[in-house]
Structures are given as structure tokens and as C-alpha cells.
A and B are shown apart, each in its own frame.
Chain A
Amino acid sequence: MDLSFTPEEIAFRDEVRAFFADEYPADIREKVNRGIRLDKDDHVRWQKILAQHGYMGVNWPVEYGGTGWSPVQKYLFSIEMANANAPDVVPFGVNMVGPVIYSYGNEAQKQRFLPDILESNVWWCQGYSEPGAGSDLASLKTMAVRDGDHYVINGTKTWTTLGQHAEWIFLLARTNTDVARRQEGISFILADMSTPGITVRPIITIEGGHEVNEVHFEDARVPVENLVGEEGRGWTYGKVLLQHERTNIAGVARSKYRLARLKELASSSQHGAKPLMEQATFRGKLVATEVALKALEYTDLRTLAAVATGKAPGPESSILKIKGTEMQQRLDTLYMEAAGYYALPYVPDQFTLDAADDDVVVDSSEPTTALRYFNYRKASIYGGSNEIQKNIIAKHVLGL
């Protein structure tokens, strides 16, 4: 047993650290540090910089332009990225549809879509959930009916994150209703968002922001060539994708960074005669949070170590989504508590640069504490709610 990294790994870390120091644009950094929402151009510009340095396809095989990094390298990269407070890559293209295309798509699809995903030339969004199909995704009703060389798509997708920016959508739609198991009739289809019949309507979330959308399909005609893999196998592709997408699911690097900032904040804000950091109740919460985060970090590292030696992720990996999101929410709660009265002011356009100059917005590392707290209640709901995750562990790990 050994805690240390190899000299090669340390050299890699230094190289990545230098990259973030030199290449992360100051104006985007400023926005992120002050909790200002990034616009589409910010994301695209930043991702193109990552792509130029070959840092986009972190999970992709080398043959498709990926990094080919080891699990430890991915971990170190995530730590450096978090410590620079650089924004995460928007996942829908590079982390979600990309792997499905290179795993199950045909040659034409790979050539057509993969380079634009790595280069962030095309913004993708995800069409999985529906108003009537959340945790029970297999009950989805969106239909794709074959008509000559096209599928005619009808239905509604929802919770489509940043769909307002998207040029393309990947969706699960039912191509066959005459099946023994309802999962069998589902196909994985790619659609150009400018297709007539596709409309996007905003959903305003609890904190007042526009992040998610409903996407409506009304007789939208999508070429049959946009089917990925075989018709009726979409459910399997979607599931395989989820199993492979373990990297960074725990969000350890980001949470470590946020806890460090929270401690700084608690050291500098006064509570009576002493810093908040020394107030027994709050201090106790900070300690408990740090202990839980260490537990999560080393559970994550154990998973990485297993993967690095060629083993499949052990059962401990299945707890990462649950514990990772619980940790995010715990930190959100503590930030809000640390803000005291300053959690209260609601500035509708607080996420813009102008509003952030207003003196009711605290000038700290997390100017939008309460809004973030409310917004991130989503974390234990999305990506398969934490209750669904527990069902999965009960069935597949504990054999219940």
C-alpha cells in the first residue's frame, strides 16, 4: 500500500497545472469566481482551448482523438481543473453522445459527428426524460415512426439542460410498441434541432434561472441514417454509457476546492468575538463534512486504483453518485449558513456581471449561495435519483 504518485504522474500534474495557470482566460475565471453564469460563447471558447491542447476527450480512446489517460491521470486533471476553478466541460457532447457514437455508431456517423464534438463546433443536448417518464425512463412515450427514409418523431422531452443553446439532440424514442419487454422497442436517434417540428420551451427553475427546457417534437422528420446502432437497442446503449461514465461522478476535486474556500470564508467572517470557523456548532459541521469528503475521496481513489490495474470498478464505485451529490448539497447548505443575512437578497439577474456589482451581493467566492443551494437540490434527483441508485445497489451489489 502506498499513497504516493509516480514521478511520471507528478510531471503530468505539473504540466496540467501550468496549462491552467497559463491558458485559462482571465475573463472567464473572473465570472466563475464571482458566480456569474457563463454564456454559450464562454463555454465554447474555453472548450476549444482545451481541445487545442488535446484535453477534451478525457475518456475517449486515442484512436478517436481522446487522451488515452490512465485513471490516475484523469483524477489529477480533475484536481487541477477544480483548483483553478475552471468550468467543467458541458457533458452532453463529449461525455454522453460521443462515447455512444464511437462505441455503436457506423463509420459515417463517427466521421460526421466525432470531430465536431471534440472541437465543440456543435452543441449537443440530451432527450431522455419525459413528463411521464422520470425515474421510470422505460415508460417513455415519444414515438419515432418509420416513413420511407425518415423517422417521424412525436412527443415531449423534458429537463433538457442547456437545450436552448443546442444544435443537435440525442434522444431515446420508441420505434416498436409490439415487444415483450418495453425496453426493447426503444432506439437511440440523433436529431438536428433546426428540424421543422422541434421547438424548445424554457423551464424556469426554483432559483429563477433558465437552465432546463422542454423539447417538443411534432411530426419532426429525421433521416433514418441518424439512428445509432440497431433499431430497438437504444436502451442498452444508454445503459452501457452510464456504466462506463464513472470518471468524476463523485465530484471529489470540485468539492475539495469548495470546502477549502468555505474554510477561508469561515475564517474571515466574524461570529461575535471570534471567526465563524471557531464557533463550536459550525466548526463541528465543517469537521463532519471534511471527514465525509475524505471518505468519499478515498472511496473514489480505491475505484480508480482498481480500474488502473485493469479490474472492473468494484462495488464501492456505485456509491459515488449518491455520496458525491450528498456532499455537493452539504457544502451548498454550509455556504448558505455561512452567508448569514446575505443569503437573503434576491437579485433576479444576479447571474450577470452588472448585477454582481450591486452591494447586496456579497463579494466572496460564492456570491450566489442561496440560489446555488436551491438550484442544486437537483443533484440528488438527476442522473437517476439517489433512490434509484439505491435500488441499483440493492439489486446488483447486495443481491436483494
Chain B
Amino acid sequence: MDFSISEDQSMLQDSVARFIQDEYDFDSRQEAAATDTGFSADRWREFAELGWTAVPFSEEDGGLDGGAVELMLLMEQFGRGLVVEPYLPCIVLAGGVLKRLATEDQKATWLADIIGGEKLAALAYAEPQARYDLNDVAVTASADGDGYVLNGHKTVVLNGGSADTLVVSARTSGERQDAEGISLFVVDASSAGIKRKAYPTVDARQAAEIHFEQVRVGADQLLGAAGEGLATLKAVIDDATIAVCAEAVGIMQVLNYKTLEYSKQRVQFGVPIASFQALQHRMVEMFMIYEQTRSLLLHAVMTEEADAGADAALHALKIQIGTEGRKLGEEAVQLHGGMGVTWELDVAHYFKRLTMIDTLFGNADHHIEQYPLAV
């Protein structure tokens, strides 16, 4: 039983933490979020130069061989900085499929530039009718000569507007909700027949509606075996779930810290509001939520690393973020009073991101339903 991190992991954590602390100030984050793409391309290049875009990939692929622990350390700091650059959609989601399924040739064509930071990618898996069911795939990939033709609508594709490369789930056989028959493809986002409508999200990211109309892809764009994509999709979404939960824990830590500081300097009735017991106990609740959520994050990461039935641990973590995490965010805003609901104050933006994380990859209700309650 060891909760400590290795020296290498500690170095990674320090380097990201320093960058966030020294370079990633809230004002320039807001500026980047307000641009057309919703992030800073210069920042992304820096992330690549610092090696962060290579973290979760194998050394053979040109990566740094990072596992769940490294991803957690990185994302926790990204949460603290409220980083808007598309690490999750590009590296964890699209990169996560490519690293698992792509052949050497496919990796050379599609993955190398993503790891290097030269190209951006997105994973188009969600569909309007599917809600959180990964097996619910209506987009079709019909065999056509030695390739396929894609048709259908992918929804709320994170970073879908800026992506150069799209990884797409599509049905090559079976009924809409069948587990079998789902295939994964990699396509150039500028291919003929792809229509993208990008828009900002309420948490200062970007997403897109993507319509595929008779989009022709070659057989060499099929990732893995035809019809067997669901397991990979699920594994990638699991990684992404850990990633956003780690991000949420980073956010929660900042919200707690900022709330404590604010309560000590905000004077009402002639005293700092931190002296009121009604508020003290609420801040204690926030502290307890943070510590308990952090425990569940460590539990999920360690279980994932040990490959020991990670399902329950992951569901538990996501449930906690969606219920207790949201409560913590609401309390942070409440304790900041009117300031907490202004655009000007960073707390409001931390709160929005934390709250929106619940909606990603299955909200708390979804995970409660999925939770393997074993006797």
C-alpha cells in the first residue's frame, strides 16, 4: 500500500505545476478562450515542446510511456489552471484510439503529428439519440469497393471544429444499439462530404456538430478489426473519465483555496466573514468533499494501474464528482456572494467547468445505474 509517486512522476508534476503557476494566468486564459478556436495555438506548441502531448504514448510511438498516474498528475494541474487547450479531445480521446488500434503505417500517417503537436484531432463518437450509450451508433459505414462510405451525424464533438484529424465511430453491421458491428475510422477533417458547425461550450471549450454525407474512406483508414470497435471506445472513454475527474479534483482544490482566502478578507458586520460559524462549517464540508474525492481519484488510478477491476472504482469516482463535486462548486459560489456569479471572477469559471464535467462520459445518474453493485 503506497500512495507516493515516483521521482519521475514528481518531476512531471512539478514542471506542469510551475508552468500553470507562473505562465498560465487567468487573463490570458480568458483571452485565448475568446478567440475563434477557443485556445492558444502558441500554448499548444509549448505543451508539445515540454513533452506533455507525448505523455500517454509508448516510447516506440515517440511518447513518454505515461500511465494513469501521469495522466492524473497532468490533468490535476490543468484543472488548477483551468486550461482550455484541447488536451482531452486531442491527446486522450482521439490519441487514445489511435495508440491502441493504429498499425505502424497508420501511426506514421496520423498519430506522429498529433504527438508532435503539429496536428489536432478529435474523437467523434456521440450521437443525438445515444445519450451516454457508446453502443448506440446510427452513423453508418457502408462497404464500397475496397473502402467505406460514411453517413450520419455526430454531436457535441469536443474540439471538432479545430481538428485536422477525426476519429469516427460508425456502424459497419448490425442494428443501431448492437454491441457488435461498430468500427472506428480515422479521416482527414477536410475530406469531401464532412460538414462541421463549431460552437463554444459554456465551460469555454469548443465542440462541433459534424455531418458526414457520402464521405469516402479507404480500407487503410479502418482502425483495428471491422465491427469490433466498442471495447476500444470504452477503454478510451475510461481513460478520459479519469482525466476529467483528475481535472475536477484540481478545480476543487482551487475553489476551496479561493473560498477560504476570500472569506478571510471579505469584511461584513465589521468582521471577516470567515469568523461566522455557519460559514466555517460549510467550508469544512467543502474540505471534506475535496479530500474524499481525492481519495476516490487515487483509488481509481491505482486500481486502473493494477488492472484490478477498475470499473467500480471509476464509476464511484464519476458519481462523486457529479454529486459532491457539484455541491462543492455551488458552495464556493454561494460563499463568494454576488461576486461568485460574475463573469469577472475566476471562481465562476472554475465552477462552470467543474459542473460541466459531470455531463461528460456519463453523468452521476448514468454511473449510478451502471455501478456494479455486487453482493
Contact = CB atoms under 8 A, between A and B. Distances in A.
A181 B366 CA distance: 56
B295 A1 contact: no
Contacts of B240: none
Contact of B320 (A2, A263, A295, A400): A295
Given A3-B1, A295-B292, A302-B295, A263 B280 contact: no
A287 B366 CA distance: 12
Contact of A1 (B4, B277, B320, B374): B4
A316 B284 CA distance: 11
B368 interface: yes
B375 to A, nearest CB: 5
A399 B287 CA distance: 12
A244 to B, nearest CB: 21
Contacts of A397: 287
A2 B1 contact: yes
Contact of B375 (A72, A263, A297): A263
A267 B373 CA distance: 11
A3 B291 contact: no
B5 A398 contact: no
A119 to B, nearest CB: 33
Interface string B1-28: 1111100000000000000000000000
B291 A283 contact: no
A400 B288 contact: no
Interface in B239-283: 260, 263-264, 274-275, 277, 280-281, 283
A286 interface: yes
A2 B69 CA distance: 11
A290 B375 contact: no
A3 B368 contact: no
A386 to B, nearest CB: 10
Contacts, number: 126
Interface string B286-299: 01100111011011
B363 to A, nearest CB: 14
Given A294-B299, A323-B292, A4 B306 contact: yes
B286 to A, nearest CB: 9
Interface in A319-366: 319, 322-323
B164 to A, nearest CB: 35
Contacts of B284: 390, 393-394, 398
B293 A295 contact: yes
Given A294-B316, A398-B284, A400-B280, A319 B291 contact: yes
A287 B2 contact: no
B133 interface: no
A291 B280 contact: no
Given A298-B295, A302-B298, A3 B373 contact: no
B284 to A, nearest CB: 4
A398 B298 contact: no
Nearest to B305: A1
A319 B306 contact: no
Interface in B299-356: 299, 301-303, 305-306, 308, 313, 316, 319-320, 323
Most buried by A among B260, B313, B373: B373
Given A3-B303, A287-B368, A316 B291 contact: yes
A264 B375 contact: yes
A348 to B, nearest CB: 34
Contacts of B132: none
Interface in A1-58: 1-5
Contacts of A260: 375
Given A277-B375, A301-B1, A304-B1, A322 B288 contact: yes
A287 B264 contact: no
A277 B295 CA distance: 27
A151 to B, nearest CB: 37
A299 B316 contact: no
Contacts of B1: 2-5, 72, 301, 304-305, 308
B371 interface: yes
Interface in A268-288: 277, 283-284, 286-288
State the main secondary structure of chain A at its contact with B. Answer: helix
Contacts of B305: 1-3
Contacts of A140: none
A393 B281 CA distance: 9
Nearest to B318: A291
A390 B69 CA distance: 32
B2 A291 contact: no
A83 to B, nearest CB: 15
A218 interface: no
B260 A1 contact: no
A394 B5 CA distance: 29
B31 to A, nearest CB: 33
Contacts of A316: 291, 295
Nearest to A280: B369
B319 A390 contact: no
A350 to B, nearest CB: 27
A301 to B, nearest CB: 6
Contacts of A294: 295-296, 299, 313, 316
19 contacts: A2-B1, A2-B2, A3-B303, A3-B305, A5-B1, A72-B1, A260-B375, A267-B375, A287-B319, A287-B368, A295-B295, A296-B295, A301-B3, A302-B295, A304-B1, A305-B2, A390-B280, A394-B283, A400-B283
Interface of A: 1-5, 72, 260, 263-264, 267, 277, 283-284, 286-288, 290-292, 294-299, 301-302, 304-306, 308-309, 315-316, 319, 322-323, 387, 390-391, 393-394, 397-400
Given A296-B292, A398-B284, 19 more contacts: A1-B2, A1-B4, A1-B69, A1-B301, A3-B305, A72-B1, A267-B375, A277-B375, A283-B373, A286-B373, A287-B373, A295-B292, A301-B3, A301-B295, A319-B291, A323-B292, A390-B285, A394-B284, A398-B283
Q: What are the 9 tightest A-B residue pairs by CB atom distance, in nearest-first order?
A: A298-B295, A295-B292, A394-B280, A299-B295, A2-B2, A390-B284, A291-B316, A316-B291, A298-B299
